[in-house]
Amino acid sequence: MLPPPRLVATPTAILSALPQEQHGFIELLQNPRKVTHAGRDFWLGTLHGQPVVLALSKIGKVAAAITATALIERFGVERIVFTGVAGGLGAAVNVGDVVVATDFVQHDLDASPLYPRYEVPLYGRTRFDSDAALTALLFKAVCGALAAGSKSGITRRFPEARVHRGLIASGDRFVSGARESRALQSALAGAGHEVLAVEMEGAAVAQVCLDYGVSFAAVRTISDRADDSAHIDFPRFVEQVASGYAHAIVEQFLALL
Ligand code: ADE
C-alpha cells in the first residue's frame, strides 16, 4: 500500500528568539545548508522528514518582524512556528507549563487618544490570531510531548507541567517585577484581554503573517513568572530546560504535518 500523501511540500519555518531555545536543532538537520541574509543565519534542511528553515528572531518586536519578513520573502515559507519561552502572567500558569497561543496583543502599543489603547493603528484591530488549524496541530504536539515527557526529561523536572491555550501579550520589555506584572495584567484585563503569558516577539510575527497571508502558530514554555526573580529564573531555564521542550514538541509537531 502507498504511504499517505504528506500535507507539506514548502518548508516550515521553525523560529525562536535565542540560540539556546533551538540548541541542537542544526545538528539534527539532514542536508543542512546555511544562508546568511539580513544579518541572520538561516539553516535549510530536513528535520524529522520535513523540509524546514531554522531561524532566530533575536529579541524584540522589530527584530522578530525582520526575521519573519525574510522567512517569507526570501525563503518562501508558508507557515511559521515559533518555539520559545515566556513569562507566566495568568494565575495558574507556572514555570514549566506550556502555553499555545490562540492570539496576540501588543501590551506596549498605545496610540490613545487617537485610537483605543492596544489597537494597532490602521489595522482596526487589537488582537492578531494564530492560524487555527496549525495551532490545533501544535496543541496536539504539546500534549504528546508532555505525555512522552519522561523520555525528554520534561516530566522529571516538571511533573505537574500543564498545557494552556490562550492570549499572549508581546512588548519590548522584559517584565521582571511582581508589581509590574500585576499592573500589566490588570490593565490588559480592564480592556478585555485576559493574558496567559508575556514575551517580546509573538505579536510582531503574527502581524507580519497576517499581512502576507502566512500561517502562524506559537508555543511558549514558561521560564519565569515575570516577577521579582524573573531575571534569575529566565536565564537558568533558557540554558538548562528550554531546548528540551522545543525538541520534544517540534518532533511531535512535524510528525503531524
Ligand atoms: N520571556 C520570558 N520571560 C519573559 C518576561 N518575564 N518578560 C518578557 N519576555 C519574557
* pLDDT tens string 18-56: 999 999 999 999 999 999 999 999 999 999 999 999 999
Ligand 1 centroid to Cα of residue 8, in Å, is 32
Residue 3 lies in a domain: no
- Enumerate the H helices of the chain as residue ranges: 25-28, 61-73, 132-147, 149-152, 154-157, 178-190, 202-212, 230-240, 242-256
**Where does ligand 1 bind, in terms of residues with CB under 6 Å?**
85-87, 174-176, 198-200, 223-224, 226, 230, 234
How far is it, in rounded angstroms, from Cα 120 to Cα 214?
19
151 inside domain:
yes
Which residue owns the Cα nearest ligand 1 atom 4? 87
Provide the pLDDT for residue 156. Answer: 82
On whether residue 1 sits in a domain, the answer given is no
Looking at the CA of residue 225, tell me the nearest atom of ligand 1.
6
> Which of 96, 106, 95, 101 lies closest to 166 in space, CA to CA?
101
Structural domain of 201? 12-256
pLDDT at residue 6 tops 90? no
> Catalytic annotation on 227?
no
φ and ψ at 225, to 5 degrees? -105, 20
What integer pLDDT is reported at residue 8 of this predicted model? 57
What is the SS3 assignment for 169? Answer: strand
Q: What angle do CA 194, 138, 243 make, to 5 degrees?
A: 95
Q: Is 194 helix (H, G, I), strand (E, B) or coil?
A: coil
**pTM for the full model?**
0.95
**What confidence score (pLDDT) does residue 5 get?**
52
Q: For residue 186, tell me if it sits in a domain.
A: yes
Q: Quick one: pLDDT at residue 3?
A: 59
Establish if 231 belongs to a structural domain.
yes
Q: Indicate if 41 belongs to the active site.
A: no
pLDDT at 75: 97
Q: For the purposes of burial, counting CB atoms within 10 Å of the CB of 92, is it exposed (0-12), middle (13-18) or buried (19 or more)?
A: exposed
Q: pLDDT-derived band of residue 163, with 50, 70 and 90 as boundaries? A: very high
Q: What is the DSSP string of 23-90?
A: TTHHHH-EEEEEEEETTEEEEEEEETTEEEEEEE--SSHHHHHHHHHHHHHTT--SEEEEEEEEEE-S
pLDDT digits (tens, 9 = 90+) for 84-135: 999 999 999 999 999 999 999 999 999 999 999 999 999 999 999 999 999 9
pLDDT digits over 138-153, tens only? 999 999 999 987 666 7
Give a yes or no: residue 154 inside a domain: yes
Q: Binning pLDDT at 50, 70 and 90, where does residue 1 land?
A: low
Confidence of residue 157 (pLDDT cuts 50, 70, 90): confident
How far, rounded to the nearest angstrom, does the alpha carbon of residue 112 sit from its chain's CA centroid?
28
Identify whether 5 is part of a domain: no
Q: What is the CA radius of gyration of the chain?
A: 17
pLDDT, tens digit, for every residue of 165-197? Answer: 999 999 999 999 999 999 999 999 999 999 999
Assess if residue 128 is contained within a domain. yes
How many domains, in total, are found in the chain?
Answer: 1
Q: Is the pLDDT of residue 213 over 70?
A: yes
Examine the pLDDT at 9 and tell me if it is beyond 90: no
Residue whose CA is at the smallest distance from ligand 1 atom 9: 199
Give me the pLDDT at residue 154, please.
79
CATH number of the domain encompassing residue 65 = 3.40.50.1580
